[in-house]
A and B are shown apart, each in its own frame.
Chain A
């Protein structure tokens, strides 16, 4: 049962961090929630999406991108309701244009959940977005537990209204994806379907006053007020100890620090836990520093607190030695083990018994330790003790992208520059396809392809994009490429869903998984409307036909597009399961005809095609009926007509 709609105050439940942020928003009585999915932040919006129909008055949307989500929330907040947005680190980059400008105006009741990704398990960059805070002059809170995730959201709304500033909650994947105990609060009966324009709307927002000179000063004054508040705030607290040194920490690093101190048997070290990491109160920090012989700053990411604390110490004339990133590298995810090793090295302590098997290089370089403890999703990271076979992610069985990749590889023979983008099709970069020369950011592939194509006339240039990424940031780039007629072939992989982040709907989604039709955007028509003259639609489950269209496309001068339309196999399977649709055919390999040419097994690389031994001991290929989704791509590529479809016996009879 979902924890978001439980109406039993003070009940203790087990929740993920993402659910706790969402529950906090509901308990705070929000009227508007918008998000664009992105790991690790997707779960916040997804958990609200699941139950939005039960919440009268609450408006929820999956926006086209994070900037639009944020702008919508800003508007709703001006309209008098509390509004929340959730996004991953890269999405925050997209939203900053709106956030920088609006900071000069006034907005209250706006909270942004920002999902960071130390260790880059699912992100193109490892970046510490807390550094936007002093730049934008927005306060940032970092919760340390599932409980604080909820409590800090509620607190952030109160403070956002008090100081007329957006508040940012910064949280890593470890909290968003982790679970822990959560004590629930009171859930409002209804949510505000209408609001009353906030008082500051008249004063500073309307009449295009947002960027007026003089606003900068107002913003700095408000930041000073928050700094004053931080002196007394219960968001920051001290865990008292009588050692002559101390630790300042925040967010998940607080928990890692407490566990590390326990591992090292250091039970008397004072710890200042900062819930608000920007702005810092010089009074609060100074009081902690005074009298200590050394203070270690333990934070995940770069030295954000460290820089601020060193500045405060300098201003107050405190000579206490401060150490931060010198001991704890900014690279990779932190963990209790990593903090324990780093502290023991810095303090010159012996490591406790549980580390005795760990090879020296992992103790020397705890970034390596971070990699092995962060559940490496790539599966190719060397592990500390024993080698295990490389296990890298691949396309799911029945994925439409597999047929597209095969066709592109075949049509171009690898003599092509591929500008790829963010989405499942990025897995074409790996074996057996190796398609993807570079990738920038959401929608960045089309723009970069244009530039490359202007200067590399001998090699054709193909730009990749998926449906959701096209809607997110690809459309202006398409318009640009078509308008300036760049010599680029655009491949749009329309799998009907924002698949990689957990199958959120997108404008190209035709039908929900329980069979309800959705408003559907025809991407081929859209591209024609943007001025692309040559647009073809293909079926990726017939790679041989796709190959022919790609060859034809590459012969056309200028900007042209091919849309590969095939639904994500996981979503088709879910719908079939809900609606009770059984497959009509099964596929098998006729070993008499199969020449073991490896086209289906290696080049197409479908995991449902398996190597087996026949009864006589000879090597054969077969189709695993438990895995096959009957997508048909293998039939299309087999040169020997060895893959045969036969009607399903019993299920078919029952259906009749």
Chain B
């Protein structure tokens, strides 16, 4: 019996919940048993958003038992096999899910909290740089992959909406997600199919290398 635990983190309104739905449906189609959990409510209103997806695959002649099955949709402390952070600071907020085995896909996108305008005005609001975030994550795991999927989405599709499909494509290309590309693709529509491919293949080699290192 093998388990695979994914934590997706970002900001409400940027498709975190939708990305969780995509990854759990794809795993179900691959025959995994799937559990998931997610933030509700304030996540829609610019708060931190998190989704957690857990897969179980059985080996031959194996069955689920009360003692070996997963029961909770939430990933535990140090339990993430993969973190997809769609915003840099949110990777820090959720770092306790990481261990030295975890892989992190860090979308190099920054979304300043909008509500504390006074703090922004007085410049007292300190926002961590991408380099600072990566350095902190490296204290936990060497496997941090940066991707500027938001910029790629804006460049190729004219909006940020294809960011998550690009991230999934990039993750699949690197073998970070135990899913088949065709199955994920079958769940996407329109531009998102193209974005997945773009992320997977890289429009040009150089862009891919530049965007994902």
CB within 8 Å of B: which residues of A? 14, 39-40, 121-122, 144-145, 173-174, 177-181, 239, 252, 254-256, 258-259, 261-263, 267, 271, 335-337, 340, 353-358, 369, 372-373, 375-379, 383-396, 427, 430-432, 500, 598, 601-602, 605, 607, 611, 626
CB within 8 Å for A178 and B69 given contacts A389-B126, A393-B47, A598-B121: no
CB within 8 Å for A391 and B113 given contacts A335-B76, A369-B77: yes
Asked if B11 is at the interface (CB within 8 A of a chain A CB), the reply is yes
Contact residues in B for A598 (Cβ distance below 8 Å)? 117, 121
Structural contact, B121 and A14, CB atoms closer than 8 A: no
> Please, which residue of chain B has its CB at the minimum distance from the CB of A611?
B120
Q: Kindly list the 7 A-B residue pairs having the minimum CB-CB distance in the complex, ordered from nearest.
A: A255-B71, A354-B78, A377-B42, A388-B93, A178-B73, A393-B42, A393-B45
Structural contact, B34 and A122, CB atoms closer than 8 A: no
Asked if B179 is at the interface (CB within 8 A of a chain A CB), the reply is no
Q: Shortest distance in angstroms between A160's beta carbon and chain B's nearest beta carbon?
A: 27
Contact residues in A for B12 (Cβ distance below 8 Å)? 393
Q: When the two chains form the complex, which single residue of B39, B118, B125, B128 contacts A375, counting CB atoms closer than 8 Å? A: B39
Structural contact, B40 and A39, CB atoms closer than 8 A: yes
Cβ-Cβ contact count across A and B, 8 Å cutoff: 205
Structural contact, A173 and B24, CB atoms closer than 8 A: no
Structural contact, A373 and B118, CB atoms closer than 8 A: no
B 146-183 contacts with A by CB, 8 A: 159
Q: Shortest distance in angstroms between A466's beta carbon and chain B's nearest beta carbon?
A: 15
Most buried by A among B38, B40, B99: B40
Structural contact, B96 and A372, CB atoms closer than 8 A: yes
What is the size category of the interface that chain B forms with chain A? Answer: 35 or more
Alpha-carbon separation in the docked complex, A358 to B96 (Å): 7
Structural contact, B96 and A336, CB atoms closer than 8 A: no
Q: When the two chains form the complex, which single residue of B46, B69, B72, B159 contacts A626, counting CB atoms closer than 8 Å? A: B159
Per-residue 0/1 for B95-136: is the Cβ within 8 Å of any A Cβ (1 yes, 0 no)? 110110000000000001111111011000111100000001
Contact residues in A for B127 (Cβ distance below 8 Å)? 389
Asked if B62 is at the interface (CB within 8 A of a chain A CB), the reply is no
Q: When the two chains form the complex, which single residue of A177, A255, A261, A601 contacts B40, counting CB atoms closer than 8 Å? A: A177
Structural contact, A355 and B38, CB atoms closer than 8 A: no
Q: A interface, by DSSP: helix, strand, loop or mixed?
A: loop
CB within 8 Å for A259 and B78 given contacts A179-B34, A393-B47: no
Per-residue 0/1 for B27-55: is the Cβ within 8 Å of any A Cβ (1 yes, 0 no)? 01000011111111111111111100000
Q: B interface, by DSSP: helix, strand, loop or mixed?
A: loop
CB within 8 Å for A174 and B74 given contacts A180-B35, A239-B66, A396-B45: yes
Structural contact, A353 and B11, CB atoms closer than 8 A: no
Structural contact, B95 and A383, CB atoms closer than 8 A: yes
Asked if B79 is at the interface (CB within 8 A of a chain A CB), the reply is yes
Asked if B92 is at the interface (CB within 8 A of a chain A CB), the reply is yes
Structural contact, B77 and A122, CB atoms closer than 8 A: no
B 45-94 contacts with A by CB, 8 A: 45-50, 66-74, 76-79, 89-90, 92-94
Contact residues in A for B140 (Cβ distance below 8 Å)? 357, 385
Structural contact, A607 and B46, CB atoms closer than 8 A: yes
Q: When the two chains form the complex, which single residue of B37, B43, B99 contacts A174, counting CB atoms closer than 8 Å? A: B37
Structural contact, B74 and A373, CB atoms closer than 8 A: yes
Structural contact, B93 and A390, CB atoms closer than 8 A: no
CB within 8 Å for A261 and B99 given contacts A179-B36, A377-B39: no
Q: Shortest distance in angstroms between B140's beta carbon and chain A's nearest beta carbon?
A: 6
CB within 8 Å for A378 and B99 given contacts A14-B25, A354-B77, A389-B89: no
Contact residues in B for A254 (Cβ distance below 8 Å)? 71
Contact residues in A for B36 (Cβ distance below 8 Å)? 178-180
Most buried by B among A173, A336, A353: A336
Q: Shortest distance in angstroms between B189's beta carbon and chain A's nearest beta carbon?
A: 14
Q: Shortest distance in angstroms between A3's beta carbon and chain B's nearest beta carbon?
A: 12
Contact residues in A for B24 (Cβ distance below 8 Å)? 14, 179
Structural contact, B41 and A336, CB atoms closer than 8 A: no
Q: When the two chains form the complex, which single residue of A122, A173, A263, A385 contacts B76, counting CB atoms closer than 8 Å? A: A263
Contact residues in B for A336 (Cβ distance below 8 Å)? 71-72, 74, 76
CB within 8 Å for A431 and B115 given contacts A377-B42, A391-B48: yes
Q: When the two chains form the complex, which single residue of A261, A388, A392, A626 contacts B67, counting CB atoms closer than 8 Å? A: A261
Alpha-carbon separation in the docked complex, A179 to B40 (Å): 13
> Please, which residue of chain B has its CB at the minimum distance from the CB of A399?
B45
> Please, which residue of chain A has its CB at the minimum distance from the CB of B90?
A388
> Please, which residue of chain B has its CB at the minimum distance from the CB of A40?
B40
Can you give 11 A-B contacts (C-beta < 8 A)? A122-B42, A252-B72, A261-B67, A383-B96, A384-B95, A385-B96, A388-B89, A388-B90, A391-B89, A392-B116, A605-B115
Structural contact, A391 and B67, CB atoms closer than 8 A: no
Structural contact, B74 and A431, CB atoms closer than 8 A: no
Structural contact, A601 and B96, CB atoms closer than 8 A: no
Contact residues in B for A177 (Cβ distance below 8 Å)? 37-38, 40
Contact residues in A for B79 (Cβ distance below 8 Å)? 337, 354
> Please, which residue of chain B has its CB at the minimum distance from the CB of A383?
B93
Structural contact, A432 and B117, CB atoms closer than 8 A: yes
Structural contact, A431 and B116, CB atoms closer than 8 A: yes
